[in-house]
A = this chain, B = another copy of it.
Amino acid sequence: MRTALCETLGIEYPIIGFTPSEHVAAAISNAGGLGVLGCVRFNDAAELDRVLDWMDANTSGRPYGVDVVMPAKIPAEGTSVDLGKLIPDEHRAFVARTLRELGVPEPADEAGQAGVLGWLHSVARSHVEVALRHPIKLIANALGSPPVDVIEQAHAHGVGVAALAGKVEHARRHVGNGVDFVVAQGYEAGGHTGEIASMVLLPEIVDAVGDSVPVLAAGGIGSGRQIAAALALGASGAWTGSLWLATEEYLRTMPGSGAMQAALVAATSSDTVRTRIYTGKPARLLRTRWTEAWAAPDAPEPLPMPLQNLLVAPAHDRLQEANDPTLVSMPAGQIVGRIDRVRPVAEIVGDLVRDYQETLDRLDKTR
């Protein structure tokens, strides 16, 4: 399983693994892929710096990347307190009532809950600045092109920039802005997604920009067969996410994730929903009693980014503390149906590679 991307990024397999866990990211890089650490959880850039120090010490010089959340169009600023004033009382009341009705315990320490500030532009910029002090190979932006000066800053450090695209026009815009890798993210993907499925989206984006930049396939990839399909469709590599959530390494970073992992293992491919309730933009989440409550007729419309995440972030903390698989709020793709147990990262990578080779052998017989 080798493409030109392996040379470009200095990796063994064209498997990019996005994860909010440094233990998972390091394990993916150590297994021959490229681990990409999600930075949105770091409200304090100094904490990210310490975690990247740990990555450097635990990846033996193997390449890794980081993922920031930097909206190109919404330069949201101000502290969470300022922005909080923009959240309607009706929405706060709905969240409080829903948590009560779902039987979620009261928070142990309300004051400690700052929300997730990584959605703010200034915080995302601080992530970039810190990350560029480390030997990262890639900065990915979960919300399309980062601002051009950020791309230039990355290039000045010899770091490539990747941006997610759900439509051909996004991909063209990213390449025009100087982005080095386009991640074609299909409808079936977890997190922010568009409406075009990978089978259609991927070759469209490859035809549009594939001569200029490598295109990575995101959405629906959890087996070597799916990597082979993505490469058949013209991708230079696979961008994966959901399948690293159900790993032993994930629990090391986030020990309170047992209920989330139980929910992933229990879920079928029908148990996700694409909704604006996580960030304000459409994102695919596990379908749970929390997402169902927001789908009820009496639920308010989700707020625009970044307000929606500021609204629900404290609720997410309480849902996590509830430790109940039916009350999880977690981005996950339709591939979750394939996750049937919690495994070590290296075992998953090994299976992907073996299944890929078997798929190519099988395809050879159709000539």
Contact = CB atoms under 8 A, between A and B. Distances in A.
A196 B199 CA distance: 12
A365 to B, nearest CB: 8
Interface in A315-367: 333-335, 337-338, 357, 359-360, 362-364, 366-367
A230 B2 CA distance: 21
B197 A186 contact: yes
A114 interface: no
Contacts of A171: none
Q: How large is the interface on A (under 10, 10 to 19, 20 to 34, 35 or more residues)?
A: 35 or more
B203 A3 contact: no
A169 to B, nearest CB: 9
Contact of A200 (B234, B337, B366, B367): B337
A195 interface: yes
B269 A204 contact: yes
Given A228-B232, A229-B233, A234-B225, A199 B200 contact: no
Contacts of A362: 231
A195 B201 CA distance: 16
Contacts of A247: none
A211 to B, nearest CB: 14
A201 B220 CA distance: 9
